[in-house]
Structure 1
Amino acid sequence: MTRTALRICPLCEATCGLSVTVDGDRVTAARGDRDDIFSKGFICPKGASFGELDADPDRLTRPLVRRNGALTEATWDEAFAAVQAGLRPLIEAHGSGSPELPGAREAAGPPVAVVLGNPNVHTVAGALYPPVLLAALGSRSVFTASTVDQMPKHVSSGLLYGDPLAIPVPDLDRTDHLLVIGANPLDSNGSLCTAPDFPGRIRALRRRGGRLTVIDPRRTRTAKLADEHLAVRPGTDALLLFAMVRVLFEEGLADVGERAGHLTGIDEVERLAADFTPEVVAPLCEVPAERIRRLARELAAAETAAVYGRIGSTTVEFGTLTSWLVDVLAILTGNFDRPGGIMFPLSATGAAPRPAGPGRGFALGRWHSRVSGHPEAKSELPIVALAEEIDTPGEGRVRAAVVIAANPVLSVPDGDRLDAALASLDFMVSVDPYLNETSRHADVVLPPPPPSRSPHFDYAFNALAVRNQARYTRAVLPLADGQPDECEIHARLILCLGGQDGADPGLVDAMVIGTALGKAAGDPHSPVYGRQPDALAQELTGRTGAERRLDMMLRLGPYGEGFGADPEGLTLDRLLAHPHGIDLGPLAPRVPGVLRTRSGAVELCPGPIAAEAARLRGRLARRPDGMLLVGRRHLRSNNSWLHNVPALTGGSNRCTVQVHPDDAARLELTDGGPARLKGDGGELEVPVEITEAVRPGVVSLPHGWGHNRTGTRLGVAAADPGVNVNQLNAGRLLDPLSGTAVLNGLPVVLTPVR
């Protein structure tokens, strides 16, 4: 029997609503849900391939357990018993640390690393359970994809606003001027800015007379749509933005508007910018000084303006400083926390607004990695340090790992070293639907069910959405016989850490609910202040523990029913009654209530930023030459995990090194011919693609390829493996504040293969 069902796409940050066709026990087609209150029918090639991904024959359907050196299928009970047997002795021998309370205990916890990949933020289970796992384990060896991605933005937001999760987004639907730096949302669909149909929103900006300026060393699809494209030299974004700040002060254009009473440090920012004149930075950025001045004037003159930077501006040596400058420009032009500027979304499951006032603030470097002494940021260590934490002997060496939805062998610099390090672990468990380049090293692989058989709510991305809304879809298809849902897999894994394998997985959700309701009942600002947590828990609805947790978060959230305090407010039942979602309105000003700094104000010039500005000043005398490497995003790809879907292969989704015609002629390269690319971490042979899409002196190679290692089960990806761009990178160069690896602006040598 054929039927249609609704689903929220989990394949990128756009979170588009889908209408899927179900034939028997399989999704056979997907199209955009025209009635979705947020995406309004938009769909990209990834969403259209939902059924093919869902039914990928290479997906694991049963757990794998290593026996006599080989991974073989096992029952779920056998798999979890193996997890407990592998991890529990290490935990008992070393105890647990206290990563949230440094100094409370000296121990760094058990020698067990936790590695979290990008797909965690795309699933209900990945959003709800890893924080509980980390608290149960107590290890300070926590590594995530953030330190090869967006950590600089978390750190800059933490320093500015006191909360690393308080990330303002461009108010796309109301701005008159959008300045995009190091981002290609027409291919990425947006990132740290959840906006279905980014192309349509940009076209709407143009139709209402607005302006789009793109700063990028590549002429991307987004740049082609712009009024103006500036092909900046990679890695010089902070210099260019600082020069714009200097112009705003020099020409009397700085005007913070209504937020003046909530800002500190403006004079200090002016002093920091003094040396970064357009004339000084222009030769380094390779953007004319007068054009830099005009950029600043245009931003200041616009009725409303928003600045948006992404991975091209974060995965560089001064990524945190650049991320800070993105917000500083909006603040200095009066485009902070107001319609049409940059604003803070208010998620339905976020914390309810509290009275304004000083908060706990944000600190960096509360502990350091064992080998290289890297400081933590947001309770994480740089993922480039994972290999050395495993393969360097000594007290505290990482001996085991819990890897959830991550493939760092491909996504992290020097994958060869990490590959060997993972093979040397005493024990590793991987939660992953595929046997990929990383999970092939696991002693136990726990595969979650396909997306069609899982519920979906965007906990992370609703906090970054350009319009406040809430949508929830239940599983489209039932679980296969004997298959636990992904939430149960996570809950049982948590129980294994405590030596409680076999206990009811629902205990984990009950514990979280009890703790959260107890905290709310003791909070004078909560609508349930003074009430009994057990009685409140009895009011929750939902088929599963995860749904009960969602119901609780909705009720206690900023739009919530408050357990009777506001009968018109949100609950799970109300959300289920609106299958296409509930629109909660446009973004609204949230300052000062959103601020959690110790001063209670936006702290424009924190000490770590001032120190980084001084370090950047030391770069002004340099005139680097040579070729630089940048990444490339494909519309039909998302890191390494979509290369096994036939519908998304071929066409423009190719692993080639893009080279400008002038460089190709100088180096005697031919289109389609082989070239050798060498970096400080290794060298690769890769086909050449000659194109004017990259500026001279720059080469571009996409991320996530290199599917040529033995022991994987990725038939489609292995047939067209490409090369791993991260193997060019030794991982020695980091943004020091965030620990983020420098992936863009990396010096390389390009030569023809004779």
Structure 2
Amino acid sequence: MFRLTLDGKPLVLAKRTSLLDALQTAGIDVPHLCHDARLKPFGACRLCIVEVDGEARPVAACATPVHDGMRVRTRTAELETLRRTNLQLIARHYPKEAVLAEPLHPFHRLLAEYGVEAGGDVHRDLFHDDSHPYIGTAMERCIQCYRCVRICEEVQGQFVWEAWGRGEGTRIAPGKGGTLLSGGCVGCGACVDTCPTGALFDKRVTAEPDNWTRTSCVYCGVGCQMEVGRSAGRVVAVRPANSPVNRGHLCVKGRYAFDFNHADDRITSPMIRRDGGWEPVCWDEALDFTARRLQEIVDRHGPDAVGVLGSARATNEENYLAQKFARVVIGTNNVDCCARVCHTPSAKALKTMLGTGAATNAFDDIEATNAFLLCGANPTENHPVVGARIKQRVLQGARLIVVDPRRTELAALADVHLAVRPGGNVPLFNAMAATLVEEGLVDRDFVAARVVGFADYVAFVADYTPEKMAAVCGVAAGDIRAAARLYAAGRPSMCFHGLGVTEHLQGTEGVMALINLALLTGNLGKPGAGINPLRGQNNVQGAAQMGCDPASLTGAQSFKDAGPRFEAVWGRKLPASHGLDLLQMMDAARDGELKAIWAFGYDIYQSLADAAETGTALSRLDLLIVQDLFLNRTATFGTVFFPAASVFEKDGTFMNSDRRVQRVRQVLPPPGDARPDWWIIQALAERLGKPDGFAFDGPEAVWNEVRALWPAGAGLSYPRLDNDSPNWPCPDERHPGTPVLHADHFADGKAAELARIPFVATPEQVDDTYPLLLTTGRTLNHFNAGTMSYRTPNATLAPSDTLDIAPVDAAAYGLKDGDIVRVRSRYGHACLPVHVTPAMRPGQLFTSFHRPDLFVNQLTSSVRDRLVHAPEYKVTAVRLEKPDG
């Protein structure tokens, strides 16, 4: 305990902090300019100086740790005189007009408080850059607090800003390149957020927000918390909020890519397709029409002729209602969501082997680990805030193994980069396991206490030595052994994996092979360890967890165990037939067996692999209900369109990748006749004559029913979530949450069984006709089908998807940067601009799939995961051709 006296008032602290933190805890405001709670103490501005008994001269509070018995004075006449003098020195070369124009900046407020005038003798020849769409510069306002330099290094890890020169000649400018963009800026806006003067500013903010609302980001599954600024009925600004997930940081999409909300082509009226075109109608007509058509299909073909697709863009409450609608109103288990095509393999593997189909550890464990095993994931681009945290931990000394065909940003920092051949994950992971066994790197105590099937597994994996698997997976045996040793030596070692593991023929089995590695090394059930899928979309974890899955109910509960409880609450028997998943729905639609689909917040035609097959399936439906913000590609086949409210226009909750349920709060009303998904679902249930169970007065009431049915989430009430976001399981409101799963036992018992996973090669192989391997993924500036991000200035940061190709292959085909090339697979073709990069290995290509008009999924194959049917987006054999004309 630390007992302090601060300006005559006692304060007791349970742990050591900085003196400035202690003063802020006590509610004592001390001036400062170079301090930011996200950064290491700096002590340069000398404004937070205080007097401490026993110290010969004033000390900087930000850089002084507390000690027991400390007596502090903060506002003596001598201190105030020193602060005024320091401010005068800082303001000597500061522009007067800046203070007058924008008096609310922290530095400007301090000048006013101390009666200090800016000198106006402004330095010249300063860095200027107007090329960035979001970040502006006014470096005549720079007071050399170095906060921009430090936050770029210590939080984002991008090292864009540097101090040039010395003394009076010191200037802040990018260290590499003549502009922010050429200097490596990723547009996170952290430098703007920390700048106390407006030397760096958001070019987007043209009106001062009159209201700020805390909510959750709508992009990836990290679940960053942010504050959204509103003015004149529009979203005008976003700034990071402090939370355990993002710690006051955001990425370029979360902070800046919000213009989609007010895009000119936003659909704000219900529509029905008539005479080949869309006709706007009122809600009554749209709902009556849809209810009549659905009822006709159910009467004629039965309830299993209808499918409902939940949405990773929608809230937990809305996804819960979607699956309840399918099962109660329609009477079918044909319900699924986009988790099917990304991380259902993760959920299946984790559920099968460990009993819970979700990440085992919280993001806070990033700072507690000694080594990372990063497999098929590119978090600095696809999960940027978590990627930045991983990067910072590596810079602090944690070891890093990256498994990825490409040389990504983190691969360049890795101790070992295993550039696996696409499709080779299972033999690679098995070879790492064989190394652990052969070299005595197994945690024998953990295996003895918590693992079964070890002897059988040892016999199985003996056939997968690195020397035998090197040619199969395309990685040198020595590198495989080095990676296995690093992972075993880390302890705790933390594994993150992404779609580069799951979107394969053996996607589920690939995750199971990773779980084997964790079991063998004892990297489960402890902080800083675990197997952790990085979820792609903001609420893809929640959509599946709420029951948008044909084989499970809300909370990923089985029909056998939880079915009676659901029937009692819902007052209706659950459907008896086994439901179809998304890919099975496409097959059934193609074959004329599925007659109707309701898809909301999900552009299935743009997103599913093998677009030609998907288009055929959708064209054969009798009824396709599209519910979205925009007329997406799926709407090409649509029968009726329901205009949905955006994330900024409704309340509810999202569930992020590390099992936190977090609040979504309405910032402004929906435009026109757009409505929240939960409102639309309930209205259609009423039209179909089944309003019972669909008369909630708002999302909180829906969530309370979820909590009543899902024991692991019972303690997550709205009042609690307004102040906290514990990791579930959280069975009651006194429970602290569960950051680490499987600490003493697994969900299904004390021990977990090792899985013997034989390698099965994908049928998608190169040959003389299709000699190159194409893999797909996302990039930093865009998101999925581009529905949101391409309706923002992010389109200027990354105007197009590109075909990334190794220099040797580019030379062989006579290609250079910017050339347009036709990529042809066995399933279709797409034309893409070339990007020549050493990040690619010879014989392999990469592209993203963000621009709808380029339609990359015309290329991808019909191969699916053997257990859960996720498409194999990551392996497609292709050839390159000159485009027509």
Same-fold call, TM > 0.5? yes
Residue 803 (structure 2) aligned to one of 632, 657, 675: 657
Identity percentage of aligned residues: 26
Instruction: Please report how far the alpha carbon of residue 318 of structure 1 lies from its aligned counterpart in structure 2 after TM superposition.
Output: 1.8
User: In structure 2, what is the Cα distance between the partners aligned to 1:753 and 1:402?
Assistant: 37
User: In structure 1, what is the Cα distance between the partners aligned to 2:220 and 2:618?
Assistant: 28
Q: Which secondary structure state, in structure 1, belongs to the residue aligned with residue 663 of structure 2?
A: coil
Other-structure match for 2:626 = 430
2:884 paired with 1:738: no
User: In structure 2, what is the Cα distance between the partners aligned to 1:594 and 1:508?
Assistant: 36
Q: Could you tell me which amino acid in structure 1 is paired with residue 753 of structure 2? A: E
The answer as to whether partners of 1:9 and 1:15 remain within 8 angstroms in 2 is yes
Other-structure match for 2:739 = 587
Residue 325 (structure 2) aligned to one of 129, 133, 140: 133
1:325-724 matches, cutoff 5 A:
325-342=513-530, 381=580, 383-393=582-592, 397-458=593-654, 460-461=655-656, 464-465=657-658, 471-479=662-670, 483-496=674-687, 498-500=688-690, 503=691, 507-508=693-694, 544-551=697-704, 571-576=717-722, 584=736, 587-591=739-743, 595-596=747-748, 601-605=751-755, 610=756, 612-613=757-758, 615=760, 626-640=771-785, 641-652=787-798, 654-705=800-851, 707=852, 721=853, 723-724=854-855
Instruction: Please report how far the alpha carbon of residue 625 of structure 1 lies from its aligned counterpart in structure 2 after TM superposition.
Output: 9.7
Q: Deviations over 1:568-620 (max 9, x none)?
A: x7642344367999995772343566513xx6642323xxxx4x516469999
| Distance of aligned partners of 1:267 and 1:138 in 2 relative to their CA distance in 1, 3 Å threshold | farther
| Distance of aligned partners of 1:209 and 1:584 in 2 relative to their CA distance in 1, 3 Å threshold | farther
The answer as to whether partners of 1:143 and 1:386 remain within 8 angstroms in 2 is no
The answer as to whether partners of 1:181 and 1:309 remain within 8 angstroms in 2 is yes
Instruction: Please report how far the alpha carbon of residue 551 of structure 1 lies from its aligned counterpart in structure 2 after TM superposition.
Output: 4.4
| Structure with more relative contact order (C-alpha pairs < 8 Å, separation 6 or more) | 1
RMSD over equivalenced CA pairs, Å: 3.6
The answer as to whether partners of 1:162 and 1:359 remain within 8 angstroms in 2 is no
The answer as to whether partners of 1:457 and 1:471 remain within 8 angstroms in 2 is yes
User: In structure 2, what is the Cα distance between the partners aligned to 1:144 and 1:379?
Assistant: 16
Q: Could you tell me which amino acid in structure 2 is paired with residue 478 of structure 1? A: P
2:245 paired with 1:38: yes
1:279-358 matches, cutoff 5 A:
279-342=467-530
Other-structure match for 2:379 = 185
Instruction: Please report how far the alpha carbon of residue 67 of structure 1 lies from its aligned counterpart in structure 2 after TM superposition.
Output: 2.8
User: In structure 2, what is the Cα distance between the partners aligned to 1:317 and 1:360?
Assistant: 27
Q: Deviations over 1:145-165 (max 9, x none)?
A: 233212221221232134445
User: In structure 1, what is the Cα distance between the partners aligned to 2:716 and 2:295?
Assistant: 41
User: In structure 2, what is the Cα distance between the partners aligned to 1:670 and 1:70?
Assistant: 42
User: In structure 2, what is the Cα distance between the partners aligned to 1:361 and 1:222?
Assistant: 44
| Distance of aligned partners of 1:284 and 1:88 in 2 relative to their CA distance in 1, 3 Å threshold | same
User: In structure 2, what is the Cα distance between the partners aligned to 1:297 and 1:580?
Assistant: 34
User: In structure 2, what is the Cα distance between the partners aligned to 1:386 and 1:486?
Assistant: 22
| Distance of aligned partners of 1:594 and 1:579 in 2 relative to their CA distance in 1, 3 Å threshold | closer
The answer as to whether partners of 1:159 and 1:603 remain within 8 angstroms in 2 is no
The answer as to whether partners of 1:343 and 1:587 remain within 8 angstroms in 2 is no
Q: Could you tell me which amino acid in structure 2 is paired with residue 508 of structure 1? A: F
| Distance of aligned partners of 1:257 and 1:726 in 2 relative to their CA distance in 1, 3 Å threshold | farther
1:10-21 matches, cutoff 5 A:
10-21=218-229
User: In structure 2, what is the Cα distance between the partners aligned to 1:626 and 1:750?
Assistant: 9
| Distance of aligned partners of 1:167 and 1:153 in 2 relative to their CA distance in 1, 3 Å threshold | farther
Residue 73 (structure 1) aligned to one of 276, 280, 289: 280
Aligned positions, number: 633
| Distance of aligned partners of 1:635 and 1:690 in 2 relative to their CA distance in 1, 3 Å threshold | same
Other-structure match for 1:247 = 435
Unaligned runs of 5+ in 1: 97-108, 191-196, 352-357, 363-377, 511-543, 563-568, 708-720
| Distance of aligned partners of 1:473 and 1:407 in 2 relative to their CA distance in 1, 3 Å threshold | closer
User: In structure 1, what is the Cα distance between the partners aligned to 2:842 and 2:695?
Assistant: 55
Q: Which structure has the greater CA radius of gyration?
A: 2
1:99-114 matches, cutoff 5 A:
109=304, 111-114=305-308
Instruction: Please report how far the alpha carbon of residue 481 of structure 1 lies from its aligned counterpart in structure 2 after TM superposition.
Output: 6.7
Q: Could you tell me which amino acid in structure 2 is paired with residue 131 of structure 1? A: Q
Other-structure match for 1:536 = none
Instruction: Please report how far the alpha carbon of residue 559 of structure 1 lies from its aligned counterpart in structure 2 after TM superposition.
Output: 9.0
User: In structure 2, what is the Cα distance between the partners aligned to 1:436 and 1:17?
Assistant: 28
| Distance of aligned partners of 1:267 and 1:326 in 2 relative to their CA distance in 1, 3 Å threshold | same
2:290 paired with 1:83: yes
Instruction: Please report how far the alpha carbon of residue 284 of structure 1 lies from its aligned counterpart in structure 2 after TM superposition.
Output: 2.1
Residue 3 (structure 1) aligned to one of 207, 211, 217: 211
Q: Deviations over 1:695-749 (max 9, x none)?
A: 11110111243x3xxxxxxxxxxxxx3x222211341x22212212111122212
User: In structure 2, what is the Cα distance between the partners aligned to 1:268 and 1:140?
Assistant: 38
Q: Which secondary structure state, in structure 2, belongs to the residue aligned with residue 508 of structure 1?
A: coil
Q: Which secondary structure state, in structure 1, belongs to the residue aligned with residue 482 of structure 2?
A: helix
User: In structure 2, what is the Cα distance between the partners aligned to 1:153 and 1:187?
Assistant: 21
Q: Deviations over 1:190-219 (max 9, x none)?
A: 7xxxxxx21331133124421122111112
Q: Deviations over 1:348-383 (max 9, x none)?
A: 9999xxxxxx99999xxxxxxxxxxxxxxx976564
Instruction: Please report how far the alpha carbon of residue 507 of structure 1 lies from its aligned counterpart in structure 2 after TM superposition.
Output: 3.8
| Distance of aligned partners of 1:58 and 1:499 in 2 relative to their CA distance in 1, 3 Å threshold | same
Instruction: Please report how far the alpha carbon of residue 168 of structure 1 lies from its aligned counterpart in structure 2 after TM superposition.
Output: 5.8
User: In structure 2, what is the Cα distance between the partners aligned to 1:747 and 1:589?
Assistant: 40
Instruction: Please report how far the alpha carbon of residue 274 of structure 1 lies from its aligned counterpart in structure 2 after TM superposition.
Output: 1.6
| Distance of aligned partners of 1:593 and 1:131 in 2 relative to their CA distance in 1, 3 Å threshold | farther
Instruction: Please report how far the alpha carbon of residue 555 of structure 1 lies from its aligned counterpart in structure 2 after TM superposition.
Output: 8.3
The answer as to whether partners of 2:651 and 2:699 remain within 8 angstroms in 1 is no
Instruction: Please report how far the alpha carbon of residue 23 of structure 1 lies from its aligned counterpart in structure 2 after TM superposition.
Output: 0.6
Other-structure match for 2:100 = none
User: In structure 2, what is the Cα distance between the partners aligned to 1:242 and 1:359?
Assistant: 31
User: In structure 2, what is the Cα distance between the partners aligned to 1:614 and 1:693?
Assistant: 27
| Distance of aligned partners of 1:445 and 1:753 in 2 relative to their CA distance in 1, 3 Å threshold | closer
The answer as to whether partners of 1:154 and 1:167 remain within 8 angstroms in 2 is no
TM-score normalised over the length of structure 1? 0.76
TM-score normalised over the length of structure 2? 0.66
Q: Deviations over 1:102-123 (max 9, x none)?
A: xxxxxxx2x1223344424xx2
The answer as to whether partners of 2:258 and 2:792 remain within 8 angstroms in 1 is no
| Distance of aligned partners of 1:493 and 1:741 in 2 relative to their CA distance in 1, 3 Å threshold | same
The answer as to whether partners of 1:657 and 1:687 remain within 8 angstroms in 2 is yes
| Distance of aligned partners of 1:555 and 1:50 in 2 relative to their CA distance in 1, 3 Å threshold | farther
User: In structure 2, what is the Cα distance between the partners aligned to 1:439 and 1:224?
Assistant: 42
| Distance of aligned partners of 1:167 and 1:398 in 2 relative to their CA distance in 1, 3 Å threshold | farther
Q: Deviations over 1:268-323 (max 9, x none)?
A: 22222121111111112221111111111111112311222210111122212211
Instruction: Please report how far the alpha carbon of residue 548 of structure 1 lies from its aligned counterpart in structure 2 after TM superposition.
Output: 2.1
User: In structure 1, what is the Cα distance between the partners aligned to 2:769 and 2:463?
Assistant: 19
Q: Could you tell me which amino acid in structure 1 is paired with residue 811 of structure 2? A: A
User: In structure 2, what is the Cα distance between the partners aligned to 1:200 and 1:683?
Assistant: 36
Q: Could you tell me which amino acid in structure 2 is paired with residue 587 of structure 1? A: P
| Distance of aligned partners of 1:212 and 1:600 in 2 relative to their CA distance in 1, 3 Å threshold | closer
Q: Could you tell me which amino acid in structure 1 is paired with residue 347 of structure 2? A: H
User: In structure 2, what is the Cα distance between the partners aligned to 1:217 and 1:577?
Assistant: 42
Residue 858 (structure 2) aligned to one of 727, 735, 744: 727
User: In structure 2, what is the Cα distance between the partners aligned to 1:80 and 1:667?
Assistant: 55
Other-structure match for 1:213 = 401
Other-structure match for 1:526 = none
Q: Deviations over 1:439-476 (max 9, x none)?
A: 23222111111222111422x32xx31xx755424211
Other-structure match for 1:59 = 266
Unaligned runs of 5+ in 2: 1-208, 534-540, 547-556, 562-576, 728-732
| Distance of aligned partners of 1:509 and 1:326 in 2 relative to their CA distance in 1, 3 Å threshold | farther
